[in-house]
Structure formats: structure tokens, C-alpha cells
Amino acid sequence: MSQPTELTELEPTHRLVDVPGGRIHLVEQGTGPLVLLLHGFPESWRAWRRQLPALAAAGYRAVALDLRGYGGSSQPAAVADCRMLAHVADDVAVVRALGEETAIVVGHDVGASIAANSALLRPDVFTAVGLLGVPYTPRGGPRPTDAFAQIGGDEQFYVSWFQEPGVAEAEIERDVRGWLAGFYAALSADTMGAAGGAYAFVPPGRAMRDRFPAGALPAWLSPDELDGSAQEFEETGFAGALARYRNFDRDWEDLAAWDGAPIRQPSLFIGGALDPSTTWMADAIAAFPATLPGLVSSHLLDGCGHWLQQERPDEVNRLLLDWLGSLAAR
């Protein structure tokens, strides 16, 4: 194959595909086994811009979605339209729309939870699952809203704060670019400072952004990239993105039949050692032998924050490709 043809095949392509709930915008690059990439909050397909070409060059069909409620994908008419079951249905519909029967699914942050549940509920479609940033936690325990309300004492845990309709939108949408810059900085290793996860607790009468670090952008985020993300959220608003957090109780009810259920497909976990998620959810990571019996490898990246595939793209790409190669060898 000539070099120009190879380069053409590796160019990213934007597409809209129909799903039962509307449409999903996606960006695909490369040919080969299908790998779905699911972003977290508050991001878009752009979160995988450093993985798409690496996976394509290695012989995979890499497809990064805008989750429903984000970017070019459909905006939900109601909060319940962003329940976990709807996201899983989107993932299955995307696989079918791309002419495939099965896929490997990889997610980061809330995308990791969606990837995990896609693998749990549809093992016939999703043959392996990679989780970045947020470990798999089976359904169980008390109702999520009750559990989150016990965290933080007099201060409100960010998940509870996100769950209140209109409250987070009112803060964020006054200055979308500035809020995004602060949120990204609060969870990035090079800009979070000594405060660590302090951003996640909102004192009475205060704003979440009051505890964001001030100063430079994280090294992985250029002003132009920030502008692109801010423009997308200026157009869509944040209600669709925040709806994921507002469905946690509904998901708990919907998934009752899978209480405590493990994911048995081959899996991968990568976390940042400085990401508060890896300390808040240390018990979930420790439980992997029971909850992820098909785990191939688990990695905590020293000196890395929450946005690991952007903070450490080369290292994450290597780990992803090593894992994907191990699947092919099975």
C-alpha cells in the first residue's frame, strides 16, 4: 500500500449515526477491530484526540463519541433520557450503525461507568472493556443520593451539588471558558496544587469555582483546545452533561437485577495516582479480583492527575495498545 493511501485511511472522519434516542456524533479513524472511546465530564470526543491516530496507526478502527447530551449528539428532552440504560443502548446502536457485531469499549470518568455497564449488560456486543480514571463499582449499597449526602459534613459534595437542577448551570454558564479552565486545572497534576480534591466540596453559600486553582492552564491543554471545548458547551449548555449525575438513583433502580454483578470480559484499568478518584474509590480498586475477574492489567500512573489520556498520552497509548494486543493473542 502506498504512503498517500495509508495517510488517507488514517484521516479522522466526522459522522452522525442514528440511535433510538436520536443521533450520536462520532469521529472515527483507521480500519480494523472496532474500539469505542467514551469521554467523561465535562468533555467531548476531543478527549481522545491523542488516542485516535495512535490506535488507527496500530490497525484499529478507533471511534470517539460525543455522549448524548454533549457536542453534536442529541440533547435530552428530559433528565431520564440520560439514564445509564439509554447510554448503553446508544453504544449498541453505534456498533450496529458502523456495520459491526462486536466492539471493545474504553471509557474515561463517567464514560468509564458507561463502558463498564455496556460490558455488563451486553457481553454479546462488548467483548472487552477498558476503564480510565474511574474503577468499576458494581451496583449495590444504599441509594446513591443518600450516600453522597453523607459526604463532606457541612459542605456539599460535588455530586450532590451537580444533582440540583439549575444550580450548577447557573454558575458554569456565566463564564463557560473560565469555569472549564478552572475545573480542568483542579484535576490536573501540574496545576492542582496542594489542595488536591478540595474543589469537590462546596461550602454553604459559596461557588464550586471558589476552590479552583488560579493561574496557567494545564500543560496538556492549549488555549485553542480550551476555546474549542468552551464553544461546544456555549452551544449546548450543561443540562445534558449534568443529567448523567441526576440519574444515579434511577440507575440504581434500573440495575437492581445486576446487584453486585462482576464484569467477566477481559478488562483494563488505568488511573492517575494524584486523581482524587483513585483515593476515594481505593476500595473499588482493591476489589477488582472479585468485580473484574477478567482483569488483564491495572496501572496507577505516578504523578498523574485525572485527565490521564491527555496528561500522559504516550504512556496511556502504550498501555492501551499492549492490552489490545493481548486480546488479539487470546
pLDDT in tens, 168-222: 999 999 999 999 999 999 999 999 987 677 889 999 989 999 999 988 899 999 9
> Each residue of 302-315: pLDDT tens digit?
999 999 999 999 99
Nearest one of 298, 299, 287 to 261, comparing CA atoms? 287
Percent with pLDDT over 70 in the chain? 97
> Each residue of 215-243: pLDDT tens digit?
889 999 999 999 999 999 999 999 999 99
pLDDT for 11 equals 86
- 314 is known as an active-site residue: no
What are the residues facing 174 on neighbouring strands? none
**pLDDT grade for 3, boundaries at 50, 70 and 90:** very low
Q: Tell me the whole-structure pTM to 2 decimals.
A: 0.95
Q: Which of 91, 109, 251, 275 is catalytic?
A: 109
**pLDDT grade for 9, boundaries at 50, 70 and 90:** low
**150 touches 116 (CB < 8 A):** no
Q: Which of 25, 87, 299, 306 is catalytic?
A: 306
Q: Which amino acid is at 117?
A: N
CATH architecture of 3-328: 3-Layer(aba) Sandwich (3.40)
SS3 85: helix
Cα 36 to Cα 38: distance, rounded to the nearest angstrom? 7
Q: Where are the beta strands (DSSP E) in the chain?
A: 13-19, 22-29, 34-38, 61-65, 103-108, 126-132, 156-157, 201-202, 267-272, 295-301
pLDDT at 113 over 70: yes
- 227 is known as an active-site residue: no
Q: What is the dihedral of CA 160, 164, 167, 172, to 10 degrees?
A: 60
Percent with pLDDT over 90 in the chain? 91
Q: Which residues of 174-193 are buried (b: 16+ CB within 10 A; e: fewer)?
A: eebeebbbbbbbbbbbbbbe
Which sequence spans correspond to the domains of the chain? 3-328
Average pLDDT of every residue of the chain: 94
